[in-house]
Chain A
């Protein structure tokens, strides 16, 4: 083709969050020179920067002051004193958090590499908060039995991302900022490259590479109320699925209990940590009916479910009764100004409420997607339950399912997972490329196909005169997912969700965009992203419908118990020839001697 733009790289990385940037860095350090990184937003805009709380690692820098209880003050551990934390403990907490669906081999690798990767971040320039003697400060975090979250105030992800990005630039990694990956080219289980769009010019490119890496982030945007950035539309997940790669455990999506009402923007866990109350419309602290001991400090999924129960029983607040009050007025202006200034700002800007004198309306918000592209501990994508690799295709971060988070991720473990497995993937890719991998022949028709899709979306002479707005379809999908595949699920709701997704998928065939220009067409991107949302939402609802148990974040009111007998296994979904998800299952990697499944009790 005359108008075919081709770019080649040894390694092509899609996604410039922590996972993608680490992969690029470490591939470079391991001897590969020619690395390209594609990102649909500028690398520093990646969603990793939104992480607030911290990154987990058993550094043993601080401990609770003796005899002060679970919410008491922390102190640095004097040199020579006994450590309180260990990778093993971290491993156990993670497994327990995952409701035993996490693969223990991968978890072990992650917790063992954790301290080293945090130290490396520090040595590269991260400005972590410090203990009085200058070590990295740590704080408590939900589900971790000791203070293990290494943090930089409440912008940890921001600091990590900027640091690693700068170091990658320093190492000569080539970034393509504002390039959109449209398609992945896999044939005969061998990955050959991608089709990408230079957003600024609207030009299509065929990018060939010996190894392709996906670090495209999560898929929380399929819900109406979500803490995720607008970029988190699960593109990588959908693209891989369309290319014939299976998706794993897609039904597991974590809901955070305190998102700003109607928007989902995260109000930090610290609000409850500092003593905030949750109240329903009658002003009752309803948590006493669900977790009388821990009250507001019960684990995230439990609190989210309690809130949702109140809402569904008609005791919610707000215009549509879908909210709950987070009441911090009793803390007093002084404490709020000192400990939660950012939260106050947030509530002021986004809810129009000053938390000093009024409760803030909040609601559960889609927060983290545990499922994704199945990979092994070297980031190599696998194509079936036996672990057959897709040659030359790697993934890590939130778009991948390794699975270290199992059915429920612990806070601070995802920055860690993205970093550790991003780095490992980079190393594995370097080994793969240096072992003599070659560029594979590609079908140039792929570009044509994508160009066709785009012109269809832009076309105005639509079939049967019916035009659909992609934005409206996305909106309906999100509403349906929130209602039917949200905190609570059951057969009826999930069936409704399936039908809705199918209906919307059909309607999307007539979707037409308004912006017909080539240059920086975000309308077009929005439509493509909507298509991706539909693609993987179908997998989510089908996987969820099939899984007749409650485990971690997947809660079925019709099957409220965990069922290890039948369901201690990962869901794998392949796209079949009709475009429907075909489910199969994969065993969980469990060390039966060390960490056999137990009841998950807090």
Chain B
């Protein structure tokens, strides 16, 4: 529990940075988003790394948050271990899939 809380708080701090970055870089100014626009940035491996870290952070934060929300409910609380495993599986799957996506952004050769 201590760790979940810790993780939530630290990831929250990281998210402040990532989120700001993400909003500015990806969505500002608003406009049509297509492969081309994304690739401009993701050509740079540093951006790739940043996005992967962002993905990890947001997943950890969001999913541990979801776990907390569920476990807060008295009736669900006894199943918190099972839930943690389930959510971790979701998290890992989403992370792998998301990472593949990020890597997939390459100039077609």
Are A and B close enough to touch in the complex, i.e. CB under 8 Å?
no
Chain A residues with CB under 8 Å of chain B are none
Chain B residues with CB under 8 Å of chain A are none
